[in-house]
Structure 1
Amino acid sequence: MDLGIKGKVALVTASSSGMGRNIALALAAEGAHVVLFARSADKLQAVCREIEERHGVPATAVAGSLTEAADITRLAGVLAGLSGPDIAVIVTGRPPNPLRDALEENELPRWDEAYQVQLRSVVQLVNGVVPAMVAKGWGRIVAVTSASAKQPMAKHALSTVFRAGVTAYMKTLANELGAHGVTVNCVAPALIDTSHRTGAAAYTPEQTARRQAMTPLGRMGTQDELSGVVAFLTSMQAGFVTGSTIAVEGGMVGSLF
């Protein structure tokens, strides 16, 4: 299926490795000019080379942090020079470790860090780059959250609270931006294989078996399966999907909605 985004300028954050990198590769495979944003300049340049070699499309690296206003301003300037953005896929960082039960999350600096990394950074990015989409009259925004925003998981309070906040923020944006031709959605993953982070198995066999038992499919999800859903939401064909949260968790969440 041709997603109709060839030549579109697609921003992907946290794209120097992991999930963000895989999403960037999926969009580049569809012909998008991907703008990579993350803190590591060297890693970003490596992903740019990989995109250009594998897919023959241009890629642009912008090193910076989602939590730094000056970096977002500089990113917006780069995007403006490319006549974009048309697409923004927002991947944020993880909460502070170690994970704790909710009542044990009693240290304000941990809450502040999680807020800045997972929610405030999203608002700051949207304020910096989305007005250009509105001016163009077309755009796709996809925020990668977590299935914990639909079904809270043990020891994930810091993630659940702020991922749910992002979900609410995206729903509000969808209501406000629809008239300008901009769709806004979330993708909420869980049980996705993360062995790409180290090149080795992410879990022990026992941990893997427990996770596999949490889904009717009886297996972990792949990075390609997650990236494919994100890519579809950026497509022309997804133009009537907005304000939605698409769960990519193999049926783990037990609710009807």
Structure 2
Amino acid sequence: MDLGLKGKVALVTACSGGMGRNIALALAAEGAHVALFARSRDKLEALAADIERLHGVHALPCPGDMREAADADRLAATLEREFGGLDVAVLNTGRAPVPLRATVDETDGERWDAAYRTQLWGAIQIAQRVHPLMGAAGPGRIIAVTSASVQQPMPHHALSTVFRAGVTAYLKHLANELGARGITVNCVAPALIETPHRTGVAAYTAEQAQARKKMNVLQRMGSQEEVCAAVVFLASRQAGFITGSTLRLDGGMVGTLF
């Protein structure tokens, strides 16, 4: 199936590793040119080289911190200068501070501030600057990676859940205001996804992984590939009548009807 992404320009934030990196590769595999935004120049340059070698599209490293206004401004200027606009923006963010704690134990204001700036304010700053670049030459797509914990809070995830809920609310407002310009705005909300640790080893012990598998009706962990496929679908031509929505990838963990 032709997803209509060949030759489009896509931005992926927080993409120097993990899920963001995989999303950038998945969009490039569909023929999209990709702008890569994260703090690590070396990792971005290596990823850009991999993308161009594997998929023959243009990959542009854009080092910067989405929490910093000057870096967000520079990113928008670079996108306009290098590509003349933007078709797809994937707002991926970093993790909340570790270690994870029970909500009643989250009393450190610095941790709350760090989570706010990383997971909510950074996404807002990028969205504010990139949506004006969309819609002139065709439909635009804004997709945020949030968490299914927004709809069913998971233990010890308060720092993440609170601000990703904020991202969900912000994107719902954007969807209402940008639809007339042909821009769709949606969230992908994963949970219980197999995520390699930065060292390359599994993020969970065997016992932890088994416990997490029991939290959903499919009795397994989700894959990075499945999350990437959801993002690519929402970026596609075929998803053009979906906006203001959240697509959960949680193996049935969330038990609500809606």
| TM-score of the aligned structures, taking structure 2 as reference length | 0.97
In the TM superposition, what is the alpha-carbon distance from 1:137 to its structure 2 partner?
5.4
Q: What residue number does 2:107 align with?
A: 106
State the number of aligned residues: 257
Tell me which residue corresponds to 1:149. Answer: 150
Query: 2-side partners of 1:200 and 1:158: how far apart?
Result: 25
Instruction: Give the superposition deviation at 1:129.
Output: 1.2
Q: Please identify, of 99-108 and 33-42, the stretch whose mean Cα deviation from structure 2 is larger.
A: 99-108
Overall identity of the aligned pairs, in %: 63
User: Which residue matches 1:51?
Assistant: 51
> Unaligned stretches of 5+ in structure 1?
none
Structure 2, gaps ≥5 residues long? none
Q: 1:137·1:180 contact (CA, 8 Å) conserved in 2? A: no
Q: Which runs of 4+ in 1 moved over 3 A?
A: 134-137
1:5 — aligned with what? 5
Q: Counterpart in 2 of 1:213?
A: 214
Provide TM-score, normalisation by structure 1: 0.97
Deviation track 1:14-73 (CA, whole Å, cap 9, x = no partner) reads 111110000000000000000000000000011001101111111000000001111111
Question: Aligned equivalents of 2:205 and 2:104: distance in 1?
Answer: 28
Partner of 2:37 in structure 1? 37
- Give the partner amino acid of 2:184: T
Give the partner amino acid of 2:111: R
Instruction: Please say if residues 134 and 177 of structure 1, whose CA atoms lie closer than 8 Å, have aligned partners that are also in contact.
Output: no
Aligned position for 1:20:
20
Structure 2 Cα separation of the partners of residues 52 and 137 of structure 1: 25
- Structure 2 distance, partners of 1:157, 1:215, is 20
Q: What code does the residue aligned with 1:230 have? A: V
Alignment of 1:110-129 (within 5 A): 110-129=111-130
| Separation in structure 2 between the aligned mates of residue 202 and residue 123 of structure 1, nearest angstrom | 28
CA RMSD of aligned residues (A): 1.1
Whole-angstrom CA distance in 1 between matches of 2:169 and 2:18: 25
Q: CA deviation at 1:134?
A: 4.5
AA aligned opposite 2:149: S
Q: List per-residue Cα deviations over 1:50-102 (Å, max 9, x = no partner).
A: 10111111100000000111111111111102122110000011111121111
Q: Is the 8 A contact 2:62 2:75 kept in 1?
A: yes
